[in-house]
Structure 1
Amino acid sequence: MIGRLSGTLAAVQPPLLLVDVQGVGYEVLAPMTTVFELPPQGQQVQLHTHLAVSETAQTLYGFLREADRQLFRTLIKVNGVGPKMALAILSGLDAAALSRCVAEDNVAALVKVPGVGKKTAERLIVELRDKLAPHPGEVNDIPLMAAAAPKVDHLAEAESALAALGYKPTEASKMVARASKAQPDADSATLIRLALKSIAPA
């Protein structure tokens, strides 16, 4: 079991990260709440990891905080919630927002996550009610990635990241288009953050 990685952040292609550990590159999937808080590319990073093993793949999921890894592990124990769905949930909702959804029985916010239907949202609320500590206050704006990057198609990069999280291509395109309209000069990280804000409960 790989429980932690410490190395150089070699590449960031949300939600995929490449971490170089003494010459070995580890591919790690991370929720956007982790991606937005990463150090600049090329700097050192330490991730708490969870290894998910299936019949077809072994996938590493990474988190900057142990508490986020534990929340991920709590989510995948819910019937019908796999690692991919848990990754999408934690990309749109931080721990405080998720706790608030559960406390307020906010099914509407949860069904905005790709793959989460009404029954799954209701099950999440029931099964997480006694497992999540209360988190007062509103969702904080997540710091943007500070890494300098070559000129890229920010719209396409943001759409690709959302699609990788489970959003349908047409839905991802609309979300990014709305975000771009609100902030025309935004980079991909900002576009993703703005697009995902639509999930967070008001």
Structure 2
Amino acid sequence: MIARLTGLLAEKQPPFVLVDVNGVGYEVQVPMSTFYNLPELGAKVTLLTQFIVREDAQLLYGFLTAMERESFRELIKISGVGPRIALALLSGLNSNELAQAVAAQDTSRLVKVPGIGKKTAERLLLELKGKLAPVLATPGFAATSDNQADILQALIALGYSDKEAQLALKALPADVSVSDGIKQALKSLAR
């Protein structure tokens, strides 16, 4: 399985990007939330990926954050929701917005996404309830960036409680990178 690609961004044609990894070009489909945050052509990029094999194709989907990839994985587990619909949802809503819509059971946010009708939105909210929200949205806390959400998720995965992780996150600068944020948060939690 291909889990991550790091290479040079060779082409950008929504929803596809071409990542050159040591001379091998990987065509990766990305949601628009990832596409808009990609660097310029020729720059180094790292994408977390989901590799899907079908009878007629082998497809690679890419994401800038672990949160986006986890949202994609939860969406494609739902019967009748394939990668195309999952990409459309993540193109219309970022992963934080999707988690908030699930937590609030807000169908109106989902039906604004092209290709998602009222019945599909209701089914998505029903099936994602209790799955997506705990992983991606901590009640009472709104991450101001995907980096903060990733740091929070990492701290919870390491065994810290929601409250401890949120307190550590509040002490971090708003523009901290994920790796530096985790290091700083672990230092503050160790005291």
TM surpasses 0.5:
yes
Note if contact 1:29-1:62 (Cα within 8 Å) is conserved in structure 2. Answer: yes
Cα deviation, residue 137, structure 1: 4.6
Structure 1 unmatched ranges of 5 or more: 141-202
Does residue 1:4 correspond to 2:4, yes or no? yes
Tell me which moved more, 37-46 or 105-114: 105-114
Show the counterpart of 1:51: 51
Does residue 1:86 correspond to 2:89, yes or no? no
Cα deviation, residue 103, structure 1: 2.0
- Please give the alpha-carbon distance, in whole angstroms, between the structure 1 residues aligned to 2:144 and 2:72: 18
Note if contact 1:97-1:139 (Cα within 8 Å) is conserved in structure 2. Answer: no
Cα deviation, residue 30, structure 1: 0.4
**TM-score with structure 1 length normalisation?**
0.65
Show the counterpart of 2:71: 71
Deviations 1:33-60 (CA, angstroms, capped at 9, x unpaired): 1111111110111111111112221110
Deviations 1:105-135 (CA, angstroms, capped at 9, x unpaired): 2112212223222222111111112112326
Note if contact 1:51-1:60 (Cα within 8 Å) is conserved in structure 2. Answer: yes
Show the counterpart of 1:113: 113
- Please give the alpha-carbon distance, in whole angstroms, between the structure 1 residues aligned to 2:20 and 2:39: 14
The structure, 1 or 2, with the larger RCO (C-alpha pairs under 8 Å, 6+ apart) is 1
Note if contact 1:30-1:63 (Cα within 8 Å) is conserved in structure 2. Answer: yes
Show the counterpart of 2:26: 26
Show the counterpart of 2:60: 60
- The secondary structure found in structure 1 opposite 2:2 is coil
Residue identity in the other structure for 1:28: V
- Please give the alpha-carbon distance, in whole angstroms, between the structure 2 residues aligned to 1:53 and 1:14: 21
- Please give the alpha-carbon distance, in whole angstroms, between the structure 2 residues aligned to 1:138 and 1:23: 38
**TM-score with structure 2 length normalisation?**
0.68
Show the counterpart of 2:98: 98
Identity of aligned residues (%): 54
The structure with more radius of gyration: 2
Cα deviation, residue 78, structure 1: 1.2
Note the aligned Cα RMSD (angstroms): 1.8
Residue identity in the other structure for 2:21: V
Deviations 1:8-36 (CA, angstroms, capped at 9, x unpaired): 00011111100001111110000111111
- Greater fraction helix: 2
- Please give the alpha-carbon distance, in whole angstroms, between the structure 2 residues aligned to 1:96 and 1:48: 17
